[in-house]
Structure 1
Amino acid sequence: MKSGIHPDYHEINIIMTDGTEYTTRSCYGKPGDTLRLDIDPKSHPAWTGVQRMMDTGGQVAKFNKKFGALGQRKKG
């Protein structure tokens, strides 16, 4: 393998949505960094079968503010 062309592969900490933690190896961040997951297999509808509205960072509110009146008819 050529030297100097591969990304740094190191250990990081992962925190799941329910608070459980584990250590894995990744190219993310710096060695020892922590990655907090917003969605994981314990909370994602594809794995749980339960549908729920998740407003991460206000994205749903932002969408509703921008497009909320779309499709409503005006009187008069």
Structure 2
Amino acid sequence: MPKSDIHPTWSKDTPVLWDGKPLCFVGSTKKELQVDIWLANHPFYTKSQVVVDSEGRVERFMKKYGLNSTDN
């Protein structure tokens, strides 16, 4: 026989809040869910994403270990 009263209470209409404003309702065991980033303010979707310049990584590695790019 399974134990009773060991599972959390499931709510079908838990509000997802961003900046105190409800975005949508989802099922959850929490009373409310707070999010910092969502579709409307995510950098990828708002085209404000900063591209990290990774150029020069090999050169920094070679300089760090005192290697020349012509060494084999």
TM class by shorter-chain length? 0.3 to 0.5
User: Which is richer in helix?
Assistant: 1
**TM-score under structure 2 length normalisation:** 0.43
Compute the TM-score of the two structures, normalised by the length of structure 1: 0.41
The structure in which a higher percent of residues are strand is 2
Higher relative contact order (CA 8 A, sep 6+): 1
